[in-house]
Structure formats: structure tokens, C-alpha cells
């Protein structure tokens, strides 16, 4: 087993790298991401129920994934 010391001065990264450094990382908290699709999704669910709003739910999930969230 080989241990390496990082002397670059940068803070340690949380978690274990899977070797895919090109992976998109979220830049904000999930509650603050995609406010437009979140609003449309929530309004639709309140007015029509979850079953009638799959279009908006899917749109919000796509937006969250594009922001780097794994949902």
C-alpha cells in the first residue's frame, strides 16, 4: 500500500475519487437549484396532484441532474 502526502496547500477532498474527475459537482444546495422548474412542479402538484404533473416533475429532475445532483 502506498500513501502520498499532499503538500500543495489545498484542502483535502471529501470522499473517495472514482477516477472520473470530469464528473459535474453541484455548485449550490439542492434546495436552491432550479427554482423555475421547482416552482412549476410544486404549483402543479398542489393544484392537480402528483399523478397529473409528471411532465414538470421530470423537467425538474433533469434540471437537477444537469446541475450535478444524483437524483
Helix (H, G, I), strand (E, B) or coil at 1: coil
Is 31 annotated as contributing to ligand binding? yes
Instruction: Check whether 34 is labelled as a binding-site residue.
Output: no
In angstroms, the Cα distances linking 22 to 17, 18, 66 are 11, 11, 14
Residue identified by cell 434546495 is 31
Binding annotation for Cu cation: 31-32
Binding annotation: 31-32
Amino acid at each position: 500500500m502506498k500513501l502520498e502526502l499532499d503538500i500543495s496547500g489545498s484542502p483535502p477532498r471529501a470522499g473517495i475519487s472514482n477516477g472520473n474527475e470530469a464528473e459535474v459537482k453541484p455548485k449550490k444546495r439542492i434546495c436552491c437549484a432550479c427554482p423555475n422548474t421547482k416552482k412549476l412542479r410544486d404549483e402543479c402538484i398542489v393544484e392537480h396532484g402528483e399523478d397529473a404533473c409528471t411532465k414538470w416533475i421530470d423537467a425538474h429532475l433533469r434540471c437537477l441532474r444537469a446541475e450535478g445532483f444524483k437524483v
